[in-house]
């Protein structure tokens, strides 16, 4: 179980997060939704450890272990641009990611092959990453995260820029990832959230507007995620 | 803390980025091209020592600009693409990330160094002989400086988002250090000059290029690299953890960064103290021939004692380094502080020196006292003689009145002479013996001059007639005898060894070498500074001493000239032989002077080894030789006829240009050397676009090792102004061209060298390999002579010209001139030199032979086309293969 308690973050005069509480069950797909500037990426980066917590910024714990004490490789992070070393061959990158995460040499090939199969990268496994399309690069980034076998995978806007076909692949991929890890992602696409998320946290202006399962959210909107979202994220001054 | 597997994982990424793309290969190709061009132009010239140092030098400059560029790439690229966040969230620590990036850059640098050195090494090995030690030291030096540059690039790249800006800033930082090392020493003075020199990475690299593996330099570079790497890890950690936001992290980051940099500087500074000095046996380049000879000679001379006298405040690192080696060779080494007057060992040593020359010192004192008495007597008789001289009538009156004025002037001012001599005899802690030799020389010159004047006065008075005049004439005659005898006594005094120490210590410090009864002292400034040139000079001091056979009679050099004044006294213009006198005296020679027109031919036992030095007229008026010049030529001719050992310098002559007989060329011809004094060696120097100026200053540094004099001067810069070519005549016996003239495209032997600006005429010739500027001949059995095709090379203005040394002190610009004077005198006078032409010759660097056109073309294609092209194509092929996989 990953738990966030009273997580706050301020960037100068801007309060990006104002005391977020969240409980994320193991092997769930936890989606952060909300308008631009709501604090989704900030919270994800804090969970990933890219933005570490100060003592007065609440706590993020994984199985009651504070963020700064997580074991190396417990969490993998895939930013929105899905960066990967442009000059590496896919195979080599996945192997080095697995090695970096502490996988044994004997286990490397298995891990790489599993990630390649899961992310449907067999055709491009010997290609240089810089020559791949946006969708493939996204899958390579996910495969690298998978090859390192983390307990938590944090994905920031993983579907931005993907075509419908790639979106389908992505959804199935999240299912695979969930089999071994907790997946936390942020997205603007409610359809995508509805198809792959199990739990949802709606953020508005750095605050937690709503949290629950995807089913509860659907129910709140009378069967429509869009309707529920509109209720929770209404423009300022507009009565609920 | 650092996991090898994670480093390996991250290294795969660096390897792919550098070697899986054309990047590292292109950089290596640039290194290979630059090194190849420089090696071809500088290193593969006929006659120069076979060395890959030129290629290494070019690689060092490439390194300054390209190593930071290689290092910044990884850090800035990760930040630009966002991969830095992936790494930050991953398991690798900041130290591991920094180290893997550093190792990636170092791998690319290793490829570049290999690309720069291996083609040149192959060429040198093919045409001459490769020195594996040199290859190893240059490789180590380049890798060390590359590591420091890469670490700088890594730190700046971690702080910056722009790779070009980060690379530029890194290079500028190091360039600034190079400039500081050049500019600061003269500004900050000797006290801080060493620190300023320590900043200059190129100065450190120059040692590696010379074949010296100086652990101090390696430690400095390693310290800087390590400190900057730690600083990079600190910055990465701060960026990664956002420590600035909490836990007082900003302060901790700043403190960590500061501590890392302080550690780097401290390690670099500490390097001077933990240095294991470079082995002079390994050194080559400028000091190698000397170093090898020194080591070989030291083993033959275990009776030598080396003493360094130095105030505690005066640092002489080159001398300290040398003394460590000397101690290792088994010689006794002493170090004294002259300001420590309570040091019993120092007092004992001075006492020993004093006792050893007690008898000679007493004879000096007696002769000086006698000379002063003669002066006092002369001054006292002025009142009697001067009025009678004033009264001399007729044609001789004017000269007599001039003499009378001189008598009165001497009587009025001789007290100053007495005080000057007294001052020279005073002993102080810094001047433990006084300078009796200088006092004797000053007095001797005064007495000799007045002996002649009093004789002239006596003649004038006797010719005038009259009772009073005749009485005054007898007084003058008596004075002339007294002065002559006193002067002769002073002239007969042996050289006083410890007077050299006194002169050397005028600077405050001295290096003293004793071998048997021989003693040699050099001022401390000549062995100051930390550079190889200082080390080479210090070694040459040792060699000079070792060349003097112990307990042998003191050799004599007689400087012959046609000037009315003394050539041994320093003049403001430097048109004198005082530098030569000092060098010869320091090397243990007694130096005498013969101004041929003045007729005072020196007398000495002919059984003593000696050499006649002939100085041609400094200024010639008109084409025809003056009376004084004719007298000099005639005197030299007589010496040659007698088979005397001479060192003859000849100059370009208008007579020869006009097709007439040049008497100096005739003298050389009698020695078996054809001196073509109608021609002068000129070098065309492009000074502007389409404009060329001609220089007649010949600078050479290469001497044949086949002659005993050659090894003593080989490798030292020698300056020959206005050089004429020499060739051995068919009948010449034992002729060896010690120093050949350069035969570059830009050089010519011109007949049209008159006027203020030289120019190249139609009938100019190209110098041939047979044209020499220094030739040794043995015209008769047991007779030796040296002919030098330049008139002014021994004048102080040329031989003692100085430039700023490492420590901000003066150092000789052309030390070879004085070395040639000493070594030439040793050989010509028939002394048996020790340490010349020793077995160490076998250890010398091979020379590059004259390459045929085909060989040159092959080297050019290999070094400047094939090697770079091969590397570039390798990168292109690897990149293409990966892209099409």
Q: Tens of pLDDT along B505-524?
A: 766 778 888 877 777 777 67
- Please report the pLDDT score of residue B836 as a whole number: 34
Residue A138 contacts B where some CB pair is shorter than 8 Å: no
Contact list, A88 vs chain B (CB under 8 Å): 12-13, 16-17, 20
Higher pLDDT: B195 or B165? It is B165
Contact list, A77 vs chain B (CB under 8 Å): 85-86, 88-90
Span B79-108, average pLDDT: 88
Residue B140 has pLDDT above 50, yes or no: yes
Contact list, A45 vs chain B (CB under 8 Å): 85
Span B124-133, average pLDDT: 84
Per-domain residue ranges of chain B: 4-284+851-883, 358-491, 552-843
Residue A45 contacts B where some CB pair is shorter than 8 Å: yes
Tokens 């979106």 map to which residue?
A167
Residue B383 has pLDDT above 90, yes or no: no
Tell me what percent of the residues of chain B surpass a pLDDT of 90: 21
Contact list, B92 vs chain A (CB under 8 Å): 72, 100
* DSSP structural state of residue B608: S
Sequence-separated (6 or more) residues with CB below 8 Å from residue A14 = none
* DSSP structural state of residue A89: B
Per-domain residue ranges of chain A: 1-74+150-240, 83-149
Q: Six-digit token pair at A204?
A: 């508005």
Span B256-278, average pLDDT: 63
CB contact under 8 A, B81 and A83: yes
Q: Six-digit token pair at B345?
A: 């060992």
Q: Tens of pLDDT along B307-345?
A: 888 877 666 666 676 677 677 767 788 888 887 778 888
**Which range among B370-374, B652-656, B683-687 has the greatest average pLDDT?**
B370-374
Span B578-601, average pLDDT: 81
Query: In the CATH scheme, what is the homologous superfamily, with its name and number, of domain A1-74+150-240?
Result: P-loop containing nucleotide triphosphate hydrolases (3.40.50.300)
Nearest to B91 among A48, A53, A102 (CB): A102
- Please report the pLDDT score of residue B532 as a whole number: 47
Query: Using CA atoms, how far apart are residues B167 and B828, in angstroms rounded to an integer?
Result: 59
Query: Using CA atoms, how far apart are residues B720 and B814, in angstroms rounded to an integer?
Result: 10
Nearest to A128 among B13, B89, B882 (CB): B882
Mean pLDDT (chain B, rounded): 80
Confidence band (pLDDT; 50, 70, 90) for B62? very high
- Please report the pLDDT score of residue B49 as a whole number: 67
Measure in Å the smallest separation between the Cα of A131 and chain B Cα atoms: 8
- Please report the pLDDT score of residue B882 as a whole number: 78
Cβ atoms of residues B707 and B698 within 8 Å: no
Residue B36 has pLDDT above 60, yes or no: yes
Measure in Å the smallest separation between the Cα of A169 and chain B Cα atoms: 23
Higher pLDDT: B694 or B821? It is B821
Nearest to B86 among A77, A88, A95 (CB): A77
Q: Six-digit token pair at B122?
A: 């192959």
Contact list, B85 vs chain A (CB under 8 Å): 45, 48, 50, 77, 79, 83
Q: Tens of pLDDT along A128-179?
A: 998 888 888 888 998 998 888 889 999 988 887 777 877 888 888 888 888 8
Tell the burial category of B647 from Cβ atoms under 10 Å away from its Cβ (0-12, 13-18, 19+). Answer: buried
Tens place of pLDDT for every residue, chain A, 240 residues? 899 988 988 888 888 888 889 899 999 999 999 888 888 899 998 898 888 777 778 889 888 888 878 887 788 898 888 888 888 899 999 999 998 888 888 888 898 998 898 888 888 998 999 888 888 888 899 899 888 888 999 998 888 777 787 788 888 888 888 888 899 999 888 888 888 899 999 998 888 888 999 889 888 888 888 888 888 876 554 444
Residue B755 has pLDDT above 70, yes or no: no
B552-843 CATH, one of 3.90.75, 1.10.260, 2.30.30, 3.40.50: 3.40.50
* Range of weakest confidence among B296-310, B430-444, B655-669: B296-310
Phi, psi of B698 (to 5 degrees): -95, 120
Give the mutation candidate from B6, B18, B77, B85 for the A interface (greatest A CB count, under 10 A): B85
Confidence band (pLDDT; 50, 70, 90) for B285? very low
- Please report the pLDDT score of residue B38 as a whole number: 94
Count other Cβ atoms within 10 Å, centred on residue B36. 29
- Please report the pLDDT score of residue B493 as a whole number: 82
Nearest-Cα residue of chain A relative to residue B879: A87
Measure in Å the smallest separation between the Cα of A214 and chain B Cα atoms: 28
Higher pLDDT: B310 or B421? It is B421
- Please report the pLDDT score of residue B250 as a whole number: 61
- Please report the pLDDT score of residue B775 as a whole number: 93
Nearest to B17 among A57, A77, A87 (CB): A87
Strand-pair category, B772-777 with B785-788? antiparallel
Q: Tens of pLDDT along B443-457?
A: 988 888 888 888 888
Q: Cα–Cα distances in Å, from B796 out to A51, B582, B616, B641, B721?
A: 73, 10, 14, 30, 13
Q: Provide the CA B811 distance to its chain's centre, in angstroms.
A: 7
Contact list, A152 vs chain B (CB under 8 Å): none
- Please report the pLDDT score of residue B602 as a whole number: 84
Count other Cβ atoms within 10 Å, centred on residue B445. 16
Contact list, B8 vs chain A (CB under 8 Å): 99
Q: Six-digit token pair at B359?
A: 């008898």
Tell the burial category of B669 from Cβ atoms under 10 Å away from its Cβ (0-12, 13-18, 19+). Answer: middle
* DSSP structural state of residue B688: E
- Please report the pLDDT score of residue B809 as a whole number: 46
- Please report the pLDDT score of residue B538 as a whole number: 65
- Please report the pLDDT score of residue B339 as a whole number: 78
The long-range contacts involving B631-634, CB below 8 angstroms and separated by at least 24 positions, are B631/B562, B631/B596, B631/B597, B632/B560, B632/B561, B632/B562, B632/B596, B632/B597, B633/B663, B633/B664, B633/B667
Residue A79 contacts B where some CB pair is shorter than 8 Å: yes
Residue B384 has pLDDT above 60, yes or no: yes
Contact list, B21 vs chain A (CB under 8 Å): 87
Q: Six-digit token pair at A164?
A: 């419908």
Residue A107 contacts B where some CB pair is shorter than 8 Å: no
**Which range among B226-240, B425-439, B834-848 has the greatest average pLDDT?**
B226-240
Span B58-82, average pLDDT: 90
Residue A54 contacts B where some CB pair is shorter than 8 Å: yes
- Please report the pLDDT score of residue B772 as a whole number: 93
Query: In chain A, which among 180-219 make CB contacts under 8 A with chain B?
Result: none
- Please report the pLDDT score of residue B437 as a whole number: 82
Q: Is B55 helix (H, G, I), strand (E, B) or coil?
A: helix
Q: Cα–Cα distances in Å, from B110 out to B30, B63, B228, B729?
A: 14, 11, 19, 55
CB contact under 8 A, A52 and B241: yes
Measure in Å the smallest separation between the Cα of B808 and chain A Cα atoms: 51
Query: Using CA atoms, how far apart are residues A217 and A199, in angstroms rounded to an integer?
Result: 9
- Please report the pLDDT score of residue B63 as a whole number: 94
Span B190-210, average pLDDT: 71
Nearest to B885 among A81, A99, A126 (CB): A126
Give the mutation candidate from B4, B6, B20, B91 for the A interface (greatest A CB count, under 10 A): B91
Confidence band (pLDDT; 50, 70, 90) for B305? confident
CB contact under 8 A, A83 and B82: yes
Residue B207 has pLDDT above 90, yes or no: no
Residue A32 contacts B where some CB pair is shorter than 8 Å: no
Tell me what percent of the residues of chain B surpass a pLDDT of 70: 80
Nearest to A96 among B12, B89, B241 (CB): B12
Query: Using CA atoms, how far apart are residues B269 and B867, in angstroms rounded to an integer?
Result: 39
- Please report the pLDDT score of residue B353 as a whole number: 82
CB contact under 8 A, A50 and B88: yes
Q: Provide the CA B338 distance to its chain's centre, in angstroms.
A: 27
Measure in Å the smallest separation between the Cα of A77 and chain B Cα atoms: 6
Nearest to B6 among A45, A55, A100 (CB): A100
Cross-strand bridge partners of residue A31: A185, A200
Nearest-Cα residue of chain A relative to residue B244: A54
Question: What ipTM was estimated for this complex?
Answer: 0.86
Query: Using CA atoms, how far apart are residues A62 and B232, in angstroms rounded to an integer?
Result: 30
Q: Tens of pLDDT along B239-248?
A: 776 544 444 5
Tokens 């010949």 map to which residue?
B698
Q: Cα–Cα distances in Å, from B722 out to B164, B655, B719, B742, B773?
A: 51, 16, 10, 14, 10
CB contact under 8 A, A85 and B92: no
Query: Using CA atoms, how far apart are residues B746 and B699, in angstroms rounded to an integer?
Result: 14
Residue A60 contacts B where some CB pair is shorter than 8 Å: no
Q: Tens of pLDDT along B643-675?
A: 899 999 998 888 888 888 889 999 999 998 999
Q: Six-digit token pair at A234?
A: 């209404």
Tokens 């060192």 map to which residue?
B647
């Amino acid at each position: 179980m990953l738990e966030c308690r009273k997580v706050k973050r301020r960037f100068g005069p801007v309060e990006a997060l104002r005391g977020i509480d969240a409980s994320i069950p193991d092997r769930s797909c936890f989606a952060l939704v909300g308008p631009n500037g709501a604090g989704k990426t900030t919270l994800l980066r804090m969970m990933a450890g890219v933005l570490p917590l100060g003592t007065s910024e609440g706590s993020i714990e994984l199985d009651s272990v504070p963020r700064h004490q997580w074991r190396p490789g417990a969490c993998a992070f895939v930013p929105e641009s899905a960066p990967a070393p442009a000059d590496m061959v896919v195979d080599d990158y996945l192997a080095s990611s697995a090695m970096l995460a502490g996988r044994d040499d004997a286990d490397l090939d298995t891990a790489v092959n599993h990630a390649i199969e899961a992310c449907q990268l067999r055709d491009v496994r010997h290609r240089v990453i810089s020559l791949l399309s946006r969708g493939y690069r996204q899958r390579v980034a996910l495969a690298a995260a998978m090859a390192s076998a983390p307990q938590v995978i944090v994905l920031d806007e993983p579907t931005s820029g993907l075509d419908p076909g790639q979106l389908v692949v992505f959804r199935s991929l999240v299912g695979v990832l969930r089999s071994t890890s907790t997946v936390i992602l942020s997205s603007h696409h409610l359809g995508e959230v509805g198809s792959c998320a199990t739990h949802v946290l709606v953020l508005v202006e750095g605050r937690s507007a709503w949290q629950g399962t995807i089913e509860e959210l659907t129910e709140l909107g009378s069967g429509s995620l869009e309707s529920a979202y509109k209720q929770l994220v209404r423009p300022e001054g507009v009565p609920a | 803390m650092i996991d090898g597997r994670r480093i390996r994982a991250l290294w795969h990424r660096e390897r792919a980025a550098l070697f899986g793309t054309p990047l590292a290969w292109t950089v290596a190709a640039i290194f290979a091209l630059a090194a190849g061009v420089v090696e071809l132009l500088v290193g593969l010239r006929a006659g120069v020592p076979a060395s890959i140092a030129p290629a290494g030098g070019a690689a060092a400059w490439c390194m300054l600009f390209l190593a930071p560029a290689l290092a910044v790439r990884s850090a800035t690229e990760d930040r630009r693409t966002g991969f830095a966040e992936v790494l930050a969230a991953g398991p690798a620590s900041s130290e591991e990330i920094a180290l893997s990036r550093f190792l990636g850059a170092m791998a690319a640098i290793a490829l570049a160094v290999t690309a720069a050195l291996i083609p040149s090494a192959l060429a040198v090995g093919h045409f001459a002989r490769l020195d594996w030690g040199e290859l190893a030291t240059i490789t180590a030096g380049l890798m060390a400086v590359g590591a420091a540059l890469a670490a700088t690039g890594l730190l700046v790249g971690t702080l910056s988002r722009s790779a070009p800006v980060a690379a530029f800033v890194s290079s500028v930082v190091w360039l600034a250090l190079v400039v500081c090392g050049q500019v600061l020493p003269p500004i900050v003075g000797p006290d801080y000059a060493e620190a300023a020199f320590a900043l200059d990475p190129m100065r450190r690299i120059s040692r590696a290029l010379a074949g010296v593996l100086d652990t101090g330099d390696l430690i400095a570079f390693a310290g800087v690299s390590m400190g900057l790497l730690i600083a990079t890890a600190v910055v990465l950690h701060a960026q990664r953890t956002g420590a600035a936001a909490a836990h007082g992290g900003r302060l901790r980051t700043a403190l960590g960064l500061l501590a890392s940099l302080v550690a780097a500087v401290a390690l670099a500074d500490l390097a001077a103290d933990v240095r294991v000095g470079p082995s002079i046996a390994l050194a080559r380049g400028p000091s190698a021939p000397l170093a090898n000879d020194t080591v070989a000679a030291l083993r033959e001379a275990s009776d030598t004692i080396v003493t360094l006298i130095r105030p505690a405040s005066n640092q002489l690192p080159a001398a300290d380094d040398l003394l460590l080696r000397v101690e290792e060779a088994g010689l006794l080494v002493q170090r004294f502080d002259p300001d420590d007057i309570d040091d019993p060992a120092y007092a004992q040593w001075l006492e020993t020196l004093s006792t050893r020359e007690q008898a000679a010192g007493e004879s000096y004192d007696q002769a000086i006292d006698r000379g002063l008495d003669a002066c006092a007597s002369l001054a006292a008789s002025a009142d009697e003689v001067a009025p009678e001289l004033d009264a001399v009538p007729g044609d001789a009156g004017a000269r007599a009145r001039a003499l009378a004025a001189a008598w009165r002037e001497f009587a009025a001012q001789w007290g100053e002479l007495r005080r000057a001599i007294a001052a020279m005899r005073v002993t102080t802690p810094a001047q433990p013996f006084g300078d009796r030799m200088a006092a004797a020389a000053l007095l001797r010159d005064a007495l000799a001059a007045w002996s002649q004047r009093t004789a002239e006065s006596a003649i004038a008075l006797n010719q005038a007639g009259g009772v009073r005049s005749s009485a005054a004439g007898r007084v003058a005659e008596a004075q002339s005898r007294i002065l002559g005898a006193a002067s002769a006594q002073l002239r007969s005094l042996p050289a006083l060894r410890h007077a050299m120490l006194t002169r050397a210590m005028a600077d405050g410090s001295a290096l003293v070498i004793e071998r048997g009864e021989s003693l040699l002292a050099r001022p401390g400034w000549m062995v100051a500074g930390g550079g190889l040139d200082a080390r080479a000079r210090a070694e040459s001091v040792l060699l000079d001493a070792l060349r003097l056979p112990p307990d042998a009679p003191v050799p004599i050099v007689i400087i012959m000239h046609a000037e009315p004044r003394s050539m041994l006294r320093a003049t403001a213009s430097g048109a004198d032989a005082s530098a030569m006198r000092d060098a010869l005296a320091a090397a243990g020679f007694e130096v005498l002077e013969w101004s041929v027109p003045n007729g005072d031919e020196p007398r000495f036992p002919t059984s003593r080894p000696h050499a006649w030095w002939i100085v041609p007229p400094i200024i010639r008026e008109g084409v025809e030789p003056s009376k004084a010049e004719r007298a000099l030529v005639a005197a030299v001719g007589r010496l040659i006829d007698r088979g005397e050992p001479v060192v003859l310098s000849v100059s370009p002559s208008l007579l020869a240009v006009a097709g007439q007989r040049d008497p100096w060329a005739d003298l050389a011809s009698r020695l078996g050397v054809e001196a073509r004094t109608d021609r002068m060696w000129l070098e065309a120097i492009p000074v502007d676009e389409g404009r060329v100026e001609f220089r007649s200053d010949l600078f050479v540094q290469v001497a044949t090792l086949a002659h005993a004099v050659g090894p003593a001067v080989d490798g030292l810069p020698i300056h020959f102004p206005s050089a004429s070519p020499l060739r051995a005549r068919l009948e010449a016996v034992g002729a060896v061209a010690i120093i050949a003239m350069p035969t570059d495209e830009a050089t010519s032997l011109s007949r049209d060298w008159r006027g203020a600006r030289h120019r190249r005429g139609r009938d100019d010739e190209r110098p041939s390999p047979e044209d020499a500027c220094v030739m040794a001949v043995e015209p008769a059995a047991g007779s030796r002579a040296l002919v030098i095709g330049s008139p002014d090379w021994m004048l102080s203005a040329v031989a003692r010209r100085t430039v700023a040394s490492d420590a901000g002190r003066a150092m000789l610009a052309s030390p070879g001139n004085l070395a040639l004077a000493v070594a030439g005198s040793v050989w010509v006078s028939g002394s048996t030199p020790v340490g010349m032409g020793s077995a160490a010759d076998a250890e010398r660097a091979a020379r590059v032979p004259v390459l045929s056109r085909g060989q040159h073309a092959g080297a050019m294609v290999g070094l400047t086309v094939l090697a770079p092209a091969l590397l570039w194509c390798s990168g292109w092929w690897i990149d293409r293969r990966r892209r099409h996989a």
